[in-house]
Amino acid sequence: MKDFAARDKVYVATKFLPRSQQEIEAGVSGQEHIAKQLDLSLQHLGMDYVDLYIYHMWDYQTPLYDILEGLNQQVKAGKVRYIGIANCYAYQLAKANALAEKEGFAPFVSVQNHYNLLFREEEREMAKLCQEDGIAMTPYSALASGRLSRRPGETSKRLAEDSYAKLKYDGMAEADEKIILRVAELADKYGVSMTEISLAWLLTKVTAPVAGATKLHHIDGAVKAADLELTDADLAYLEELYIPHKLVGVMAQNTSSSNKKEQVWMKNAPKGMQ
Ligand SMILES: NC(=O)c1ccc[n+]([C@@H]2O[C@H](COP(=O)([O-])OP(=O)(O)OC[C@H]3O[C@@H](n4cnc5c(N)ncnc54)[C@H](OP(=O)(O)O)[C@@H]3O)[C@@H](O)[C@H]2O)c1
């Protein structure tokens, strides 16, 4: 980025994990944890601020007030422009922003949850809250970790070996496969990639999907999706076969009791954060 873009022309987002058990035992407060994690990220990035700082997952062991005050301190210090949240229920976001408003703290302006053509549970409540309150949806796994970019049967090293992504989609319903086939059918109809169809659909629902990329050409696929306009009939065709899904991944562990157990994200977490 230093070589290719002026800092004020790019938007940089990063996120922080909950307090570790060691920090809790050592009496590190939520505010101190946030200050420390942000300074580490800024040091790694070689920057003096980030545009969006994201509360990665609900931390049942740290008071919400401390999280919000900790984030607000960083906004006031100019190290963070806006704050976002990820992996939460709509009620948690509504509760947090109500407290922020009462205390005069910075509110969450975006939510990064799991949302794609194969996982649409966000449409129950979160989408409605975001629309009413002007909160940006910036979902992750926009391509179902690559499943919505490939025809059934086509695989990749990552699809086969990424245990976290497998956990999220293994035991996929037959209906999911039929949806993937419909994505492929529309891709053929328009002469575009499946990635473009999947992301063009998501762009009708959200502000900015977080599309993953492990190869340079993946970025082209994501960029092209912004120019593709699907018809209402296409959208209905893609949506028709969806059946409700159980929560998976980090959201399946969004409970006060599972917060203390081993978490799905811990396998990849930096040393000391487990
Ligand atoms: N907030 C959270 O808790 C959370 C959770 C999960 C993810 N995330 C964020 O979201 C990012 C993406 O997650 P994800 O990997 O699940 O995202 P994704 O966008 O659903 O899947 C990305 C994968 O799709 C395939 N792909 C992308 N573009 C393609 C193209 N043009 N042609 C063919 N294949 C294409 C690639 O698979 P191959 O690599 O197999 O080729 C790529 O790795 C992560 O890096 C992370 O930052 C956040």
Which pLDDT value is given to residue 163? 72
Which pLDDT value is given to residue 171? 62
Gap between the Cα atoms of 103 and 5, Å rounded: 37
- Copy the structure tokens of residue 264: 């799905």
Which pLDDT value is given to residue 170? 65
- Of 141, 159, 195, 224, which is best to mutate to test ligand 1, by the most ligand atoms within 8 angstroms of its C-beta? 141
DSSP 149: G
Residues in a beta bridge with 85: 55, 111
pLDDT digit string, tens, across residues 139-196? 999 999 999 999 988 877 777 777 777 667 766 678 899 999 999 999 999 999 999 9
Q: Tell me the pLDDT of the chain (274 aa) as tens digits.
A: 888 889 999 999 999 999 999 999 999 999 999 999 999 999 999 999 999 999 999 999 999 999 999 999 999 999 999 999 999 999 999 999 999 999 999 999 999 999 999 999 999 999 999 999 999 999 999 999 999 999 988 877 777 777 777 667 766 678 899 999 999 999 999 999 999 999 999 999 999 999 999 999 999 989 999 999 999 999 999 999 999 999 998 999 999 886 556 666 566 555 555 4
Ligand 1 pocket at CB < 6 A:
86-87, 112, 140-146, 149, 156, 158-159, 165, 193, 195, 210-214, 218, 221, 250
| Residue with CA at minimum distance from ligand 1 atom 44 | 212
| Residue whose C-alpha is closest to residue 80's, from 70, 92, 95 | 70
Distance from the CA of 190 to the center of ligand 1, in angstroms? 23
Total-model pTM? 0.93
| Residue with CA at minimum distance from ligand 1 atom 22 | 212
In contact, 169 and 118? CB cutoff 8 Å: yes
Residue with tokens 């938007």: 11
Which pLDDT value is given to residue 260? 58
DSSP track, 81-146: EEEEEES--HHHHHHHHHHHHHHTPPPEEEEE-B-BTTB-GGGTTHHHHHHHHTPEE--B-TTGGG
DSSP track, 211-251: ---SSHHHHHHHHHHTT----HHHHHHHHTT-------HHH
Cβ neighbors of 201 (< 8 A, separation 6 or more) are: 117, 230, 234, 235, 238
Q: How many CA atoms lie within 13 A of 23 on its CB side?
A: 18
pLDDT digit string, tens, across residues 228-240? 999 999 999 999 9
- Domain limits, the chain: 7-268
Which pLDDT value is given to residue 265? 58
Distance from the CA of 34 to the center of ligand 1, in angstroms? 26
Which pLDDT value is given to residue 274? 43
Gap between the Cα atoms of 95 and 89, Å rounded: 10
Assigned CATH for 7-268: 3.20.20.100
